[in-house]
C-alpha cells in the first residue's frame, strides 16, 4: 500500500513510518523539517498547513492510506496559544480532507486515514479504566482540537471518500534507534534531570498512576489500523498498555537502569498530592476494543520501555553506557 505519513520526523511519526516500511508498505513522509536520522521512506519537504502543498501532493499521488500525525502537541502551551493550536491542528486536517475529496471527485479513489488522537480528548480521569465510551470532554485547547478532528473524520467517513480510524494514544514513551523523545514529558524530564541537562524534578504526586505505552507498540497499532480501515467507516480505539504505573515506580526503574539517582526537589508533606483528578495524563486505557477490532495488544513492558528510553537517549547523546546496560 502506498502511504503518506504527515509528521513522520516526529517521535511517534518515525516509529509509524518505520513499522509501515517493515510491513512492506511504500512510505512517503511529509515534513516541514529534517531532524536527526532520516525517517523511513521517501521524504518530501513541505508545510502541511499550506493547502496548496497538501492538495498538490495528494492530488498527484496514488496514496491509498494516510497516517496523520502532524500537529502541535503541548497541553500547557495550548492554554496560552489556543488560536495557534486550532489554526494548525484543525487546519492541517481540513487541508488533507479537502485534497482527498478533490481527488476522489476526479478519480473515484478513496483513502484510508489513521489519525493520531490522544487520551486528552477525555474528561479528566482518576485512577480508573477509560473506555472509548468515557465522556469526551477535553480540558485543554489541545484536546479540543484533537476531538474536533475526530468529529470531522467521522462526518467525512459517511461520504465515501474516506474510511478513518482515530487512535487515542495514552502516554507514549520508550525509544529505539533514531526514535527518541525530546519533548518535555515525564520520562524525558527524569532522564534530563539524571544527566544534568534539565533541573531537578519536583514530584508532587509520586503515587499517581499513568498508562505508559511503548512508541514501537504505537507504531504497530497504526499499521494494524491502516490495514483494517474501510471506506465509509469510522472507528475509534484506545492505544495504551492497559496498566497503571505509579510515577514513583517509574523513578525507581529509571534509577535501577541508569545506576544514578533522579535529582528531586524536596516537596513538603502538606504539598504532596495523590489525586489523579489533578493529573491531565491520568487514567488507564481500556484496550479491549483494540484487541478485538485491530488484533493489537502491546508487546513491551514498562521495564522494556524504561530501559529503551534510557539506552537510546544515551546513545543519541553520545554518552557511554555502563556495562550491562
182 located within any domain: no
Domain assignment present for 143: yes
Q: Taking the CB of residue 189, how many other CB atoms lie within 10 A of it?
A: 15
Task: Look at residue 136 in the predicted model and tell me its pLDDT.
Answer: 96
Mean pLDDT of 186-193: 96
- Tell me the pLDDT band of 319, cut-offs 50, 70 and 90: low
114 lies in which domain range?
2-173+212-239
Q: What is the pLDDT of residues 239-258, one digit of tens each?
A: 999 999 999 999 999 999 99
Is the confidence at residue 323, as pLDDT, over 50?
Answer: no
Q: Are 267 and 205 in contact (CB under 8 A)?
A: no
Q: What is the pLDDT of residue 272?
A: 60
Q: What is the pLDDT of residue 196?
A: 94
Cβ atoms of residues 207 and 248 within 8 Å: yes
pLDDT of residue 325: 44
Question: Across all residues in the chain, what is the average pLDDT?
Answer: 92
Contacts of 147 by beta carbon, 8 Å cutoff, 6+ apart = 117, 121, 136, 138
Model confidence at 267: pLDDT above 50: yes
Q: For residue 286, is pLDDT > 60?
A: yes
For position 262, what pLDDT does the model report?
A: 97
Beta strands (DSSP E) in the chain are 2-6, 26-31, 42-45, 65-68, 111-118, 129-130, 162-169, 171-173, 209-210, 212-214, 234-239, 245-246, 284-285
Model pLDDT, residue 234: 98
- Report the pLDDT averaged over residues 17-29: 97
- For residue 223, give the CATH number of its domain: 3.40.50.720
Q: What is the torsional sign of CA 317, 322, 324, 325?
A: negative
The whole-number average pLDDT for the span 96-113 is: 96
Residue 124 pLDDT greater than 90, yes or no: no
**Does position 131 have pLDDT exceeding 80, yes or no?**
yes
Q: How confident is the model at residue 194 (pLDDT cuts 50, 70, 90)?
A: very high
| Residue 63, domain member (yes or no) | yes
Does 23 fall in a domain?
yes
Q: Is residue 310 part of a domain?
A: no
Tell whether the model's pLDDT for residue 276 goes beyond 60: no
pLDDT in tens, 218-240: 999 999 999 999 999 999 999 99
Can you tell me the distance from the alpha carbon of 179 to that of 266, in angstroms, rounded to the nearest whole number? 33
Percent of the chain at pLDDT above 70? Answer: 93
What's the confidence (pLDDT) of residue 324? Answer: 39
What is the Cα–Cα distance from 302 to 322, expressed in whole angstroms?
A: 21
Residue 285 placed within a domain:
no
Residue 178 lies in a domain: no
Domain count, the chain: 1
184 domain residue, yes or no:
no
- Amino acid 132: pLDDT: 98
CB 165 within 8 A of CB 225: yes
| pLDDT given for residue 264 in this prediction | 94
Has residue 275 got a pLDDT over 60?
no
Amino acid at each position: 500500500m502506498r502511504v503518506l505519513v504527515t509528521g513522520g520526523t516526529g517521535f511517534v511519526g518515525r516509529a509509524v513510518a518505520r513499522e509501515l516500511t517493515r510491513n512492506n508498505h511504500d512510505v512517503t513522509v511529509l515534513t516541514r523539517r529534517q531532524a536527526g536520522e532520516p525517517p523511513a521512506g521517501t521524504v518530501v519537504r513541505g508545510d502541511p498547513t499550506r493547502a496548496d502543498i497538501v492538495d498538490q501532493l495528494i492530488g498527484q499521488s496514488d496514496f491509498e492510506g494516510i497516517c496523520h500525525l502532524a500537529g502541535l502537541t503541548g497541553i500547557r502551551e495550548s492554554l496560552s496559544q489556543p488560536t495557534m493550536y486550532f489554526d494548525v491542528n484543525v487546519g492541517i486536517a481540513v487541508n488533507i480532507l479537502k485534497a482527498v475529496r478533490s481527488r476522489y471527485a476526479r478519480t473515484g479513489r478513496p483513502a484510508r486515514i489513521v489519525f493520531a488522537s490522544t487520551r486528552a480528548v477525555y474528561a479528566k480521569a482518576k485512577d480508573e479504566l477509560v473506555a472509548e465510551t468515557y465522556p469526551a470532554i477535553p480540558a485543554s485547547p489541545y484536546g479540543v482540537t484533537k476531538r474536533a478532528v475526530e468529529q470531522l473524520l467521522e462526518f467525512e467517513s459517511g461520504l465515501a471518500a474516506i474510511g478513518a480510524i482515530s487512535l487515542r494514544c495514552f502516554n507514549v514513551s520508550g525509544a529505539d534507534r533514531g526514535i527518541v523523545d525530546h519533548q518535555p514529558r515525564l520520562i524525558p524530564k527524569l532522564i534530563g534531570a539524571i544527566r544534568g541537562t534539565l533541573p531537578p524534578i519536583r514530584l508532587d504526586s509520586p503515587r499517581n498512576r499513568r498508562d505508559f505505552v511503548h512508541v514501537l507498540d504505537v507504531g504497530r497499532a497504526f499499521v494494524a489500523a491502516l490495514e483494517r480501515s474501510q471506506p465509509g467507516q469510522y472507528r475509534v480505539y484506545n492505544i495504551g498498555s492497559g496498566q497503571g504505573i505509579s510515577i514513583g515506580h517509574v523513578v525507581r526503574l529509571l534509577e535501577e537502569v541508569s545506576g544514578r539517582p533522579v535529582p528531586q526537589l524536596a516537596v513538603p508533606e502538606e504539598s504532596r498530592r495523590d489525586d489523579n483528578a489533578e493529573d491531565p495524563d491520568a487514567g488507564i486505557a481500556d484496550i479491549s476494543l483494540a484487541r478485538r477490532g485491530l488484533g493489537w495488544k502491546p508487546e513491551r513492558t514498562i521495564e522494556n520501555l524504561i530501559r529503551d528510553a534510557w539506552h537510546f537517549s544515551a546513545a543519541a547523546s553520545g554518552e557511554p553506557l555502563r556495562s550491562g546496560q
